[in-house]
Amino acid sequence: MRVSCIRAPAAGGTWSPVSTRAGTLSLGVMTVSLAGAIGAAVVAPAAEPASPLAQPAPPQPLRDGDRVVFLGDTFFEREGQRGFIESALAAAHPAAAIRFRNLGWSGDTVWADSRGVFDPPSKGYDRMLALVGEIAPTVVFVAYGRNESERGDAGLEKFRGQLSKLCDDVRKAAAGADRPPESVRLMLVTPSPCETIDADRRNAMLAAYAGVIREVAVVKAAGLVDLHGGLKPPAAPGKLRTENGVHLSDAGYAEAANRFVEACGGRLPADFADRAAELRRLVVDKNTLFFHRWRPANETYIFLFRKHEQGNNAVEIPRFDPLVEEAEKKVHEAVRPSEKRR
């Protein structure tokens, strides 16, 4: 069973989802995944491992006009509420008009375990692909593996097969009928290390899943943002990069943002630190509007099994679109070099 609702924000904050389903509990800042809940939706054949000599695609710069989707679990949903990665990528490409859309969902897996709401995960998977098709991204960052790693060694090959299938399905959905699927650039993201009391055990398993992600990136000719290998332990003991041993703090997201910029072959401007806070505010404002666009608080009544009661209100949802576009224009203006701003 799943219960899905929206938790009201504290003053000045953003809305945060609360979602549970058969052993997966997501409270925006905490995700607990039980092995038995993962992988119930889609069975995919195991993918062939990559050659040990093969490498992921080289850094893939973002381009003017790109439409970028962040697709994944709690890591990306929390990024949408903080804006560190998106603001850094935007600032590293100041001359490019890039649209970012965050489709992160806390507690999610490559099987879309969190996205079914009151339906099976397979329905949530289909809705996710339909939304990807609606956005028609040219670049998709895919961040999974943390929740799936709770299945241990026994789940590795199923994860490999479903991640491979997800890559193919996302490319096909994003390309639509007008583009070849291979034109959609994928960037796979490995999960960041844990800092829990049992970190050695958990990170050993995360390393195995990160290894599968790297191999799938090679097979699918995708880029790689290697947070598991790229976020080294803090130099000073006691200085953690997570809030709770699992989910990144602001400092952790700032460090992760640098890895994303590097993976895209970008470079942050010299004055980024001075402008970062205001830029993140603008990004979060835009993300909050888009969140209400694609995950309205009463979606069960608008789109799902109770739509016979209030489904007529669905006509109001597209009214978020011009608000999102206007908010994104403010982000574009903020990242322009100072001499080119209005």
pLDDT tens-digit series, residues 139-190: 999 999 999 999 999 999 999 999 999 999 999 999 999 999 999 999 999 9
CA atoms within 13 A on the CB side of 208: 16
Q: What is the pTM of this model?
A: 0.81
Compute the distance between CA of residue 191 and CA of residue 98 in angstroms, rounded to an integer: 25
Q: What is the pLDDT of residue 19?
A: 39
Residue 317 makes CB contacts below 8 A (sequence gap 6+) with: 293, 296, 302
Mean of pLDDT values over 75-87: 97
Compute the distance between CA of residue 92 and CA of residue 265 in angstroms, rounded to an integer: 9
**Identity at 148, one-letter amino acid code:** E
176 — phi, psi (to 5°)? 65, -150
Which of 238, 279, 281, 231 is closest to 252 using CA atoms? 231
Provide the pLDDT confidence category of residue 35 given band limits of 50, 70 and 90: very low
* Rounded percentage of the chain residues whose pLDDT exceeds 90: 65
pLDDT in tens, 273-306: 999 999 999 999 999 999 988 777 766 545 555 5
Q: Write out the E strands in 44-135.
A: 67-72, 99-102
Provide the pLDDT confidence category of residue 6 given band limits of 50, 70 and 90: very low
3-state secondary structure of 77: helix
pLDDT in tens, 120-132: 999 999 999 999 9
Angle between helices 320-335 and 272-294 (to 10 degrees): 170
Q: What is the pLDDT of residue 104?
A: 97
**Within a 10 A sphere around the Cβ of 214, how many other Cβ atoms?**
20
Mean of pLDDT values over 311-324: 71
Compute the distance between CA of residue 71 and CA of residue 325 in angstroms, rounded to an integer: 20
Confidence check: pLDDT of 17 > 70: no
Residue with tokens 């100041």: 94
